Chains A and B, each alone.
Chain A
Amino acid sequence: MRSVRVCVPLVALALAATACSTIGESSGSEEPEDGATPTEVVLVTHESFVLPKKLVKQFEEESGFDLEVRAAGDAGVLTNKLVLTQDNPLGDVAFGVDNTFASRALAEGVFAPYDATLPEGAEQYLLPGDGEDGEARALTPVDNASVCVNVDDTWFAEQDLAAPTSLDDLVDPAYEGLFVTPGAATSSPGMAFLLATIGAYGEDGWQDYWSELMDNDTLLTDGWSDAYQVDFTQGGGKGDRPIVLSYDSSPAFTIADDGTSTTSALLDTCFRQVEYAGVLEGAANPAGAEALVDFLLSPDVQAALPESMYVFPVDASVELPAEWAEFAEQPTEPITVDPEAIAEGRDDWLRDWSDITSR
C-alpha cells in the first residue's frame, strides 16, 4: 500500500509533465524530398530580427513559400555560424551580417551572387568591394543605423555647460568623468565606436586618443544596455553620466512631456552600421531566398523597420514614424573604415584596445 501512495504523486507529476511539455508539437518544417519543389524558405538571422506577423503572412501569400525564421546570437555569432556551416548551410537566406563582419563572410564564400533591384537611395549602402571588378554582387543592404555619441541636453542646460560636439571634446577635461561607452570587445556598438575613432584618427593615431579618453575617466561597460540603461542620465535607471554611446535614432525615444527630445546625437562622431541580406551558397530553395531578399526591400517591410528593429530603412522614399522624422537625424557624412581593413585589423585592434583600456 505504501508504495502505491508514493506512486500517486509521481504519476501526477508525470501527467502534469506530459500536459505541459513542448514535445509532440510539430515544428512545421517537413524536409522536402530530393527533387521535389521546396515549400519553405529558411531565414537565418540574429536575435534582434523582428518581422511583424502581418508581413510574414504577406510574404507567404505573395511568394507561395512558408517562412521559417531561425534567429539567435548577435551579428558576430551569425557571421561565424554561417562561415562554420557553409558546407551544409543552416538555411536559404541570411539577414543581419553587417559591414564590420561582411568581408569575412564574403572572403569565405558564404553567399551566392544575387543582384537584387535596389530601391531609391539604397546604392550608397552597398558594401565597398562587393560586386566590383566585374564580379556579381552577393550582399543586399536592407537597413542602417549609425552609432553616435549621445548627450543629455537637459543635464548640460542645468549645469550651464556647453554640450560636447566632437570626438575631440570627449578628451577635454571639462567633460571628465561624464562619458560612458560599451567596450569594443564585447559589444557591437562598442566595436563601431572603436572603428569611428580609428577612422577619425588613423590606424596609428587612435591608440593615443583612447589613452586620453581613459585618462579623462571614461567608463566602460560590457554592453549597450548597461551603458545606456544604468549609467546614462536619461536611461531607464538613475545614472549620472550625461554622455553615452548609442544610436542616431535614440533621441526619438527620450521625448519629454513637452514633446521635445531630451537628448541628441552628435552627428560628427558617427560610424554607420549597414545590415545586409544575402542568398546562401548551397541553399535548398534559392528562388525562395531571392524572393525574400526582394521582400525585405519592399516598401512595406522598409516602412516597418524603424518600429520593429530600431533601424533606418535603406529606401529613401519610405515615410518615417513621426518621432523619427522629427528627432532622429542621420549623419550625412559618417566616419568610415574600409571593410577589408576591418577584416584584417580587427584582431590586432581589439588586442591593442584591450591593453590600453585595462591598463
Chain B
Amino acid sequence: MRRLFVLAGLAAVPLAVLGVFFLLPISGMLAEGLWADGTFDPGAVLEVLARPRVQRVIWFTVWSSVLATACAVLLGVPAAHLLHRRRFRGRAALRALLLVPFVLPTVVVGVAFRELIGEAGPLGFLGFDGSAGAIVAGLVFFNVAVVIRAVGAAWESLDTRPAEAAASLGASPAHVFRTVTLPALRPAIVSAASVVFLFCATAFGVVLTLGGLRYSSVETEIYLLTTNLLDLQAAAALSIVQLLAITALLVVTTRLRSVPDPTLARSVARHPRVSRGDWPGLLATSVVVVLVGLPIAALVTGSLQVGDHWSLENYRALTTEGSRQALLVPVTQALVTSLRTAVDATWMSLSLGLLIAVIVSRRSRTRAERRARGLLDGLFMLPLGVSAVTLGFGFLITLDEPPLDFRDSLLLVPIAQALVALPLVVRTLAPVLGGIDDRQRQAAASLGAGPLRTFVTVDLPVMWKPLLAAAGFAFAVSLGEFGATSFLARDDNPTMPIVIFHLIGHPGAMNYGMALAASVVLAATTAVVMLLVERLRVPSVGAF
C-alpha cells in the first residue's frame, strides 16, 4: 500500500499538469461535440463514422502511418548501429544533421520537397508529386531521426559481451542479432516505433502539402471540420477514434515492449571502426542521408539565390523587418524568442518526463501496482495522438476562468510544446531506466545511500546520454513546433516557424528567399545545439 502512495505522490505533479493542460481542454471540446444543442447525442457521432468519406480518411491514415513507421524502423535501426556503435570521422555532425528535419516547419519542407519532386523539379520525372508515396517519404523524412536517436541511445551502452560470446560459439552475425541484440533492443525499438506511428498518424502539413489534396488523414479532416466548417460533432467523432486508436496501440506496445528480463549489463566500450560487415548500416545510413539531405540541399541552394545569381542577400535581410516591413520583428529576434521558448519547453518536459520515466520503469511488486504504472505510462502518451487544433480550441474554452485562467499566459506556448515533447522524453528514458538492475540500487541503499544519492550514483551515470538525447529531442520539437504555437502565439513575440510561415505566405521574391534563409538558419541552429549537447562530457560515465 505504501508503495502505491509513494507512486501517487510522485505522479501528482505530472498528473496535475496533464489534467489541466490536456485532459480538461480535450474533454471540453469533446463535450461541445457530444452535447450538440444542449442534448447528449452520441448517435449523431456514430452516424459521422458511417460516412464513406470518414471511413476512407481513417483507412488512409492507418495504412500510410503503418507503412511510414515500418520504413522508418527498417532504415533507422541499421543506421542507429552505424551512428552509435561505430567510430568514424564526422559521426557527430552526421547525427546532428539527421535531426534537422525534426525542427523544420512542415510548410518549408513541403516547399523543399516539391521543388524536388514537383513537375518542374529535378526529380519531377518520377511523377511522385501528389502521390501517396510522396506522403510516406515525407513522413519517413521527419521521423527516421526518432528511431535513430532512441534506438541509438539504448544501443550505445549495450554490453557487447553476450553478443561476442554467441559469436565465439559459432553464431552468424545475423543469428547473433536476432537472438541476442534484437531482444535487448526490443523495448527501445517498440517505443520508438509507437512514437513514430503516433507522429505519422497525426501528421498534418506533410499530408496536405505532399498529398496534393487527393488524400486526407484524420488530422487534416479534424482541422477542416473544426476551423472551417465548425462541425464539432464530426470533429468529436474523429477525436474519439483517435483516442481509441492510441489506447489500442498502447495496449499492444506494452505487450511487445515487456521482455522477460529488461535488465541489461551496460558498458561504455570504445566503439570499433567501420568494417565491411557493417554494410547494412552503411546502406541504411546512405539512404537516410539522401532522403534527408536532398530536400535540405534544395533548401540551402534556394536560400543562396537571388534571381538567377548567387547571393547572401537573403541572409542579410534576416536582420531587417522584411522588404516592406511585412514583419513586426526581424527574423533574428524571432530566433531568440524561439530559443528561449525552447529552453522553457525543454526543462518542463525533461523534469516531468524524468519523473514519469522513473515512475513507470520501476519494478512493480503487485498486480495493482503494475496496472497503475501501465495506466500512467499510457496516459502520458495521449498528447501525441490527439489533434493540435482540438487541444488549441480546448484551451480557449476551458482555461478561461480563475483559477485556471491561462488563455493569455505567456507560458501556454512552452507548456503546449512540452506536452508534445513529453512522450518522446519518456520513451527515450523509460527503456534505459527499466534496464537498470534493481539490485544495484538495493546495494547502494544497503551501503547507506539515500534515495537521491542512489539516483545520482546508480541511475544518473547510465541515464546521462539518454537524458541528453531526450533534451535534444525536446529542444528540437519546441524549435520546430508549428501547429499548437501558431494557434497560441502572440503577435509581439513570434517564433521562427511562425515568421517563416508568414514570409512564405506572401508574394515577392525577397520574402520567399528570406523564408528559405530563415529555415536554413533554424536548421543550422538546431544542428549546432545538438552538436554542443553531444559534446557535453561527463567524467563519471567513462568510469562507470
| Chain A residues engaging chain B, CB cutoff 8 angstroms | 2-3, 5-7, 9, 14, 16-17, 20-23, 25, 27, 29, 45, 47-50, 52-53, 69-74, 76-77, 80-81, 83-85, 88, 90, 104, 183, 185-186, 191, 219-226, 228-231, 235-241, 246-247, 250, 253-254, 307-308, 310, 346-347, 350-351, 354, 357-358
Residue of B325, B456, B538 touching A307 (CB-CB under 8 A): B325
Closest A residue to B407 by beta carbon equals A90
Inter-subunit contact A347/B114 (CB<8 Å): no
Q: When chains A and B are docked, how far (Å) is the Cα of A347 from the Cα of B233? A: 13
Contacts of B543 in A (CB 8 A): 2
Q: What would be 11 A-B contacts, judged by CB atoms less than 8 Å apart?
A: A2-B543, A3-B456, A3-B457, A21-B347, A85-B400, A185-B213, A226-B114, A231-B119, A238-B120, A346-B229, A354-B53
Inter-subunit contact B486/A73 (CB<8 Å): yes
Q: When chains A and B are docked, how far (Å) is the Cα of A88 from the Cα of B326? A: 32
How many contacts between A and B, using CB within 8 angstroms?
204
Residue of B114, B226, B453, B493 touching A3 (CB-CB under 8 A): B453
Closest 3 CB pairs of A and B: A236-B512, A240-B120, A222-B208
Kindly provide the distance from the CB of A183 to the nearest chain B CB, expressed in whole angstroms: 4
Inter-subunit contact A225/B504 (CB<8 Å): yes
Size bin of chain B's contact surface: 35 or more
Inter-subunit contact A239/B118 (CB<8 Å): yes
Inter-subunit contact A88/B400 (CB<8 Å): yes
Kindly provide the distance from the CB of A69 to the nearest chain B CB, expressed in whole angstroms: 4
Q: When chains A and B are docked, how far (Å) is the Cα of A246 from the Cα of B508? A: 12
Closest B residue to A186 by beta carbon equals B208
Residue of B211, B343, B486, B491 touching A21 (CB-CB under 8 A): B343
Inter-subunit contact B502/A48 (CB<8 Å): yes
Q: When chains A and B are docked, how far (Å) is the Cα of A220 from the Cα of B513? A: 23
Closest A residue to B389 by beta carbon equals A77
Closest B residue to A224 by beta carbon equals B505
Closest A residue to B536 by beta carbon equals A9
Q: When chains A and B are docked, how far (Å) is the Cα of A237 from the Cα of B108? A: 12
Kindly provide the distance from the CB of B268 to the nearest chain A CB, expressed in whole angstroms: 15
Contacts of A191 in B (CB 8 A): 228
Contacts of A246 in B (CB 8 A): 507
14 additional A-B residue pairs with CB within 8 Å, beyond A9-B538, A85-B400, A237-B115: A21-B347, A22-B411, A27-B410, A47-B502, A50-B325, A50-B328, A71-B490, A71-B491, A73-B227, A223-B107, A225-B505, A236-B516, A240-B119, A308-B324
Kindly provide the distance from the CB of B496 to the nearest chain A CB, expressed in whole angstroms: 14
Scan B498-523; emit 1 where CB is below 8 A from any A CB, else 0.
Answer: 10011011111101110110000000
Scan B400-417; emit 1 where CB is below 8 A from any A CB, else 0.
Answer: 110000011111001000
Contacts of A220 in B (CB 8 A): 212-213
Instruction: Given A21-B343, A85-B397, verify A230-B228 contact (CB < 8 Å).
Output: no
Scan B336-369; emit 1 where CB is below 8 A from any A CB, else 0.
Answer: 0101110110110000000000000000000000
Inter-subunit contact B508/A185 (CB<8 Å): no
Inter-subunit contact B401/A6 (CB<8 Å): no
Q: When chains A and B are docked, how far (Å) is the Cα of A231 from the Cα of B302? A: 15
Question: B179 on the interface (CB 8 Å rule)?
Answer: no
Q: When chains A and B are docked, how far (Å) is the Cα of A354 from the Cα of B52? A: 13
Q: When chains A and B are docked, how far (Å) is the Cα of A253 from the Cα of B508? A: 5
Inter-subunit contact A104/B396 (CB<8 Å): no
Residue of B325, B339, B502 touching A52 (CB-CB under 8 A): B325
Inter-subunit contact B411/A23 (CB<8 Å): yes
Contacts of B508 in A (CB 8 A): 253
Instruction: Given A3-B453, A3-B456, A185-B224, verify A358-B490 contact (CB < 8 Å).
Output: no
Inter-subunit contact B396/A90 (CB<8 Å): yes
